[in-house]
């Protein structure tokens, strides 16, 4: 694939992976992106996952058409992007590796390499001239690893954005960008909102015509849309108006309460109501929706004097990603000593700018008519 007249896509699609990073369900696979810049000097941007090393080298060779690469630029040392550094260096013994000092330190942790004069340590804001193309390196520490940098091609106005603006899903599937990009962002990058904001400020000073991420499609149109989404996500502002009801139920009674609340909200004219069964649904999607919408209801059974395990996991997933700026309500259930609401609130006590609703619904075992009255009051407060 041609990105510009002399920048080419050399990545691969992975339909073998079932769990990305060992935890994220990727029903449409994953793309590992790499790019080649042809100029007086040739630069290859990043490698791909270890399972696709030979396929990637074949892609690179087809683009080179006999040319020899001078540089391998490594923006991020996660193995899905760096695993084939040794393979590349064996094939192209005169190529030099360009990366941050922190990346070279990690390189020695992953591989036994004797780079000697084959390594070029970048400076923040440093440049590398290929001929007509000049690459500018911009450090992006903790987006989402400490060694990360992004690269800006001054000639073609291309931003090679590392894991930024990435998404789940292979490139040969027909899939909308937004949902899987959001799930990817909050799953993998979401904790580091402040660092993403800092990078966006740097990017605001660049004239960007194309964004080339390490996962997902090359972005060439309406770039303001993607930049605005990243600004919203990284500032933890709600993206949409709606209520997410996340429930953890043992025998179905807490689930009944959650569904009753959903029905009441719909009766009151609220269209955007999303139910998540935390024991069965994809946890990453539940987390994504909690960050997407402006209101969250946590409905859980009491368990071992605390809260049911999948709800505990869900709240931990939220808090470690700096969940904030939302309205939160609670429904608890317990047959003799309801403790779920107290436990959930305590787990969220260090979260910033959360507004807890006054109506906490406490159910003793099964949902009774008087509980439905409480649920209706909660629905009123939510809308």
pLDDT tens digits, 344-380: 999 999 999 999 999 999 999 999 999 999 999 999 9
Q: In terms of domains, do 209 and 245 share one?
A: no
Classified as helix, coil or strand, 364 is: coil
* Mean pLDDT, residues 14-43 taken together: 97
Q: In terms of domains, do 167 and 247 share one?
A: no
Q: In terms of domains, do 324 and 267 share one?
A: yes
State the Cα–Cα distance between residues 190 and 176, nearest whole angstrom: 20
* Mean pLDDT, residues 79-89 taken together: 97
Domain boundary among 204, 234, 264: 234
pLDDT of residue 12: 98
Q: What is the span of the domain harbouring residue 120?
A: 2-234
Q: What is the pTM of this model?
A: 0.94
Structure token digits, residue 378: 């909660």
Q: Which CATH number do you get for residue 118? A: 3.60.15.10
Q: Which CATH number do you get for residue 306? A: 3.40.50.360
Q: In terms of domains, do 223 and 256 share one?
A: no
Q: In terms of domains, do 222 and 328 share one?
A: no
Please say if the pLDDT value at position 116 is more than 90: no
Q: In terms of domains, do 257 and 224 share one?
A: no
Angle at 157 between CA 151 and CA 161, to 5 degrees: 35
Q: pLDDT-derived band of residue 312, with 50, 70 and 90 as boundaries?
A: very high
* Mean pLDDT, residues 13-18 taken together: 96
State the Cα–Cα distance between residues 126 and 138, nearest whole angstrom: 8
Q: In terms of domains, do 297 and 340 share one?
A: yes
Q: pLDDT-derived band of residue 1, with 50, 70 and 90 as boundaries?
A: confident
Domain boundary among 184, 210, 234: 234
* Mean pLDDT, residues 219-236 taken together: 97
Number of structural domains (the chain) is 2
Cα–Cα distance list, 128 to 41, 124, 184, 269, 275 (Å): 10, 12, 31, 58, 51
Q: pLDDT-derived band of residue 90, with 50, 70 and 90 as boundaries?
A: very high
Condensed to tens digits (0 to 9), the pLDDT of residues 238-291 reads 999 999 999 999 999 999 999 999 999 999 999 999 999 999 999 999 999 999
Q: In terms of domains, do 331 and 230 share one?
A: no
Q: In terms of domains, do 293 and 155 share one?
A: no
Please say if the pLDDT value at position 2 is more than 90: yes
Side-chain half-sphere of 41: how many Cα atoms within 13 Å?
17
Q: pLDDT-derived band of residue 220, with 50, 70 and 90 as boundaries?
A: very high
Contact 307, 339 (CB under 8 A): yes
pLDDT of residue 228: 96
Q: In terms of domains, do 166 and 277 share one?
A: no
| Cβ contacts of 362 within 8 Å, gap of 6 or more | 331, 332, 333, 334, 338, 341, 374
Percentage of the chain lying above the pLDDT 70 cut = 100
Q: In terms of domains, do 35 and 159 share one?
A: yes
Domain boundary among 196, 218, 234: 234
Distance of CA 347 to the CA centre of its chain: 23
Q: pLDDT-derived band of residue 27, with 50, 70 and 90 as boundaries?
A: very high
Q: In terms of domains, do 219 and 178 share one?
A: yes
| Cβ contacts of 376 within 8 Å, gap of 6 or more | 264
User: How high does pLDDT run on average in the chain?
Assistant: 97
Sign of the alpha-carbon dihedral angle for 82, 83, 86, 92: negative
């Amino acid at each position: 694939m041609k990105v510009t007249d002399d920048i080419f896509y050399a990545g691969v699609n992975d339909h073998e992976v079932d769990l990305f990073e060992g935890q994220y369900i990727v029903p449409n696979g994953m793309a590992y992106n790499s790019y080649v810049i042809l100029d007086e000097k040739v630069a290859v941007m990043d490698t791909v996952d270890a399972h696709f090393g030979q396929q990637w080298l074949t892609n690179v060779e087809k683009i080179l058409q006999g040319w020899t690469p001078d540089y391998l630029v490594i923006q991020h040392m996660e193995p899905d992007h760096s695993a084939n550094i040794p393979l590349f260096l064996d094939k192209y013994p005169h190529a030099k590796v360009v990366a941050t000092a922190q990346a070279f330190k990690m390189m020695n942790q992953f591989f036994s390499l004797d780079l000697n004069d084959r390594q070029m340590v970048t400076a923040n804001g440093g440049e590398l001239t290929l001929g007509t193309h000049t690459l500018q390196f911009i450090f992006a520490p903790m987006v989402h690893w400490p060694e990360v940098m992004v690269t800006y091609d001054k000639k073609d106005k291309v931003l090679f954005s590392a894991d930024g603006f990435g998404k789940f899903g292979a490139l040969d599937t027909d899939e909308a960008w937004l949902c899987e990009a959001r799930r990817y962002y909050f799953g993998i990058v979401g904790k580091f909102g402040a660092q993403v904001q800092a990078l966006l400020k740097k990017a605001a000073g660049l004239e960007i015509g194309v964004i080339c991420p390490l996962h997902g499609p090359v972005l060439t149109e309406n770039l303001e849309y993607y930049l605005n989404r990243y600004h919203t996500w990284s500032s933890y502002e709600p993206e949409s108006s709606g209520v997410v009801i996340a429930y953890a139920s043992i025998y179905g009674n807490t689930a009944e309460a959650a569904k009753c609340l959903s029905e009441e909200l719909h009766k009151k004219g609220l269209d955007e109501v999303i139910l998540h069964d935390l024991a069965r649904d994809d946890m990453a999607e539940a987390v994504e929706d909690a960050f997407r919408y402006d209101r969250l209801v946590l409905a859980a059974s009491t368990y071992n004097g605390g809260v049911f395990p999948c709800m505990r996991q869900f709240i931990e997933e939220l808090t470690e990603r700096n969940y904030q700026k939302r309205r939160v309500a609670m429904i608890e259930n317990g047959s003799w000593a309801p403790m779920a609401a107290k436990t959930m609130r305590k787990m969220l006590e260090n979260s910033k700018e959360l507004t807890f609703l006054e109506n906490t619904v406490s159910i003793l075992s099964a949902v009774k008519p008087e509980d439905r009255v409480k649920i209706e009051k909660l629905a009123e407060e939510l809308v």
